[in-house]
Structure 1
Amino acid sequence: MSKMSKERKKEIRRKLIKLLNENPNWLDSDHTELKKEIQLLGQFLGYNSKNKKIGDLTLEKYLKLLSLGFNNQEIKGIYQLSEGSFKEWLKEHDFYRRNVDEILNENKEFKNYD
């Protein structure tokens, strides 16, 4: 599993802090997409500090992470997937060797990436 660079971690931390500062009552908010984005970023940072798996990869989580700017290597690491199992997961969803923008555009029905 590849380690995330310190700069990438700082970038994600800054994004999370910005969201929290702009939305101090995010937990009480009815804005579901915002809640999920903050929770995913927080889970990612928690995963990185503990090197602990944060759950199973789903189509919705994958699309949300892509939309937040994560790449496949980072996503594979977050979910502690081997190269082979992640490759199979991508093939099952017809994402293997495909462009991120193309994947997100084709999956607009997952607009909120639940």
Structure 2
Amino acid sequence: MKVFLKEATVVMRMSKNETEALSLDGWILGFVKFINNRNVKATGFEEKIIKMKSMIFEDIAYMLVLYTSYIPRVSKAPREGVDSFHLIKKDGSWKIVSILNEIPSADRPKPTILEN
């Protein structure tokens, strides 16, 4: 995947009390497993960006993204999530260094910077 550094890391919220740090290959394998286990080929999957905030300083960048995701015909309603992307400009193009994921809840509200 050309948009990622080969050493990129993805940290995903796996449950209310657990996160998991994955290599890029591990993250891709996990997404393939999600597609197969949830029968996403038949049901579909939608992820929609609601709001983004970014900061760029020379060759580094940070992007905070509020999104909703859901599986049509399975999910009750779209669920909000927050991704934090960290990038570096390398050889003239931006590369993802890491993605950190969090799922807002009553005890972990979304950042106020992403409020409407």
Confirm or deny a common fold (TM above 0.5). Answer: no
* Bigger CA radius of gyration: 2
Relative to the length of structure 1, the TM-score reads 0.31
Going by fraction, where is strand more abundant, 1 or 2? 2
Higher relative contact order (CA 8 A, sep 6+): 1
